[in-house]
Structure 1
Amino acid sequence: MKLQKLLSLTRKAVDEFQLIEEGDKIAVGVSGGKDSLAMLYALHGLMRFYPKSFTMEAITVDLGHPDFSLGKIENLCKELEVPFHVVKTDIAPIIFQERKESNPCSLCAKMRKGALNTEAKRLGCNKIAYAHHKDDIIETMLLSLIYEGRFHTFAPKTYLDRMDLTVIRPLLFVNEADVIGFKNMYHLEIEKSPCPVDGYTKRQYAKELVANLNRENPGAKERMFTAILNSNINGWHEVKHHK
């Protein structure tokens, strides 16, 4: 996927769901993975020509894994001239050594988001961009159906009233396969996740389930996404035009 297509799909999400307003200061959560790096590129590109002017701050939450490196993220932010901030935490040691959590993902996500939100507020940001793409949204919907018995997924934007911050998801129209294509085309230097449970989670199960369903029923993934777009899930029914 070329940068132009990434920008086009990002702008479509931003326009349809009014994700960005004049004067926004957006904290971009950057883990070092392909999704967050693609989002950094997308928002940086959009920032140059979008009619509503906004600024960005890149934030990486260092979970405290001993072998996690920040060099590649730092270099990209320097290249794009985006201010870069690191929040050092002991989240990994707390979860894996002290608490020895058997299902660490939800607690880790909660603590990581807390650290990210706090830093965003400290920097004077009013919005936080998360790099959830179309596949993430579909997988979350399936997980919700299977484990919670409800038709639900992330909203394009979510207001966090306790923090007075709005979470936005600018990559919601972007397929994961396109993110991978973008990473390969532009030789993005990703940081491998040092998490010991990476690839062994319920989300990984949902990812494989969607892939199998789509292989056996071509187009199933897109139809599931259309069902979300046409649903009354909070935050989604606001969409005015979609294909």
Structure 2
Amino acid sequence: MPMQKLLSKTRQAIKDFDMIQDNDKIAVGLSGGKDSLTLLSILKNYQKFSPQNFELIAITLNPGDVDNSPLYKFCEELDVPFYEIQTDIKEIVFDIRKEKNPCSLCAKLRRGALNDNAKKLGCNKVALGHHKDDAVETFLMSMFYEGRYKKSNL
């Protein structure tokens, strides 16, 4: 989908759901995947003509031994401040807890670390590049691996 169409849909969603207000400071959870990279690019482009004045930062959680230098470069090119947060999530999930099905615990730890660090950095909102496919995948993983359905998964 061309950037212009993505920007148009983003602008309409922001307007319809009153998602951004003046003086918001928004942390974009940057995983390095196409969804989060696209979201950051769209929001940065939207910022140029937005009727609201808002700040953007990017936060990446490093669970251990991940080279995020491409993300530093990407954010530098967009002129978005980038924060790489070192975590011990990998150690907790695999070494300490020895999880057989690590996805749920890992997701909870990542979400908590992202929200905590966004707050520490003065952000009042967090944006994630999740979409319908992610919601369906999370729902199915919860059903198969945890044997339960939670509304909060969707």
TM range (shorter): 0.7 to 0.9
Residues 145 and 152, structure 1, Cα contact 8 Å, conserved in 2: no
CA shift in 2, pair 1:69/1:8, >3 Å: same
Given the alignment of the two structures, is residue 6 of structure 1 paired with residue 6 of structure 2, yes or no? yes
Q: CA deviation at 1:52?
A: 1.2
> In structure 2, what is the equivalent of residue 21 of structure 1?
21
- The residue correspondences of 1:88-167 to structure 2 (distance < 5 A) are 88-140=86-138, 147-148=147-148, 154=154
Match of 1:173 in 2: none
Residue deviations 1:127-174, cap 9 Å, x none? 0001112322344566678854577763xxxxxxxxxxxxxxxxxxxx
| 1:40-65 per-position Cα deviation (integer Å, ceiling 9, x unaligned) | 1011111111111111111001011x
Aligned counterparts of 1:94 and 1:150: Cα–Cα separation in 2: 24
Larger helix proportion, structure 1 or 2? Answer: 2
Count the aligned residue pairs. Answer: 152
Identity between Structure 1 and Structure 2 (%): 51
Aligned equivalents of 2:102, 2:140: Cα separation in 1:
20
User: Mean alpha-carbon deviation: is it higher for 120-129 or for 15-24?
Assistant: 15-24
Cα distance in 2, alignment partners of residues 112 and 50 from structure 1: 30
Contact 1:145 1:151 in 2 (8 A): no
**Structure 1 residue matching 2:61: 3-state secondary structure:** strand
RMSD of equivalent CA atoms = 2.1
What letter is aligned with 1:82? Answer: V
Q: Distance in 2 between matches of 1:61 and 1:136?
A: 19
3-state SS of the aligned residue for 1:79?
helix
* Cα deviation 1:79-107 (Å, max 9, x = unaligned): 00000001101111221122210111111
Matched, 1:45 2:45: yes
3-state DSSP class of the match of 1:52?
Answer: coil
Once residues 13 and 152 of structure 1 are traced to their aligned partners in structure 2, the CA distance between those partners, rounded to angstroms, is 21
- Displaced runs of 4+ in structure 1, greater than 3 A? 137-154
Which of the two has higher C-alpha Rg?
A: 1
C-alpha distance in structure 1 between counterparts of 2:93 and 2:151, whole Å: 30
Instruction: Determine helix, strand or coil for the equivalent of 1:76.
Output: helix
Distance 1:89 1:149 in 2: 29
Alignment map for 1:69-84 (pairs within 5 Å): 69-84=67-82
- Contact 1:144/1:151 (CA < 8 Å) preserved in 2? no
Distance of 1:53 and 1:23 partners within structure 2:
6
Unaligned runs of 5+ in 1: 155-243
